[in-house]
Amino acid sequence: MRKLLGLMIVAGALAVSACNTIEGAGKDVSSAGQTVAKTADDAK
């Protein structure tokens, strides 16, 4: 579980760093948050 969470954080950081606009960064952060929340729900 920790490895998966770490991987998700790294992937999120890479996605945010690839954005060219503030709006795009917001969408990426939101998407990463939803993915982490879904992963946490699946692990329950």
- The 10s digit of each residue's pLDDT in 1-44 is 778 888 888 887 877 666 566 667 677 788 888 888 888 888 87
pLDDT on residue 44: 74
Using an 8 Å Cβ cutoff, are 11 and 32 in contact?
A: yes
Using an 8 Å Cβ cutoff, are 16 and 25 in contact?
A: yes
Say whether pTM exceeds 0.85: no
pLDDT on residue 18: 63
**15 vs 13: CA distance, rounded Å:** 5
Question: CA-CA distances (angstroms) from residue 32 to 3, 44?
Answer: 16, 19
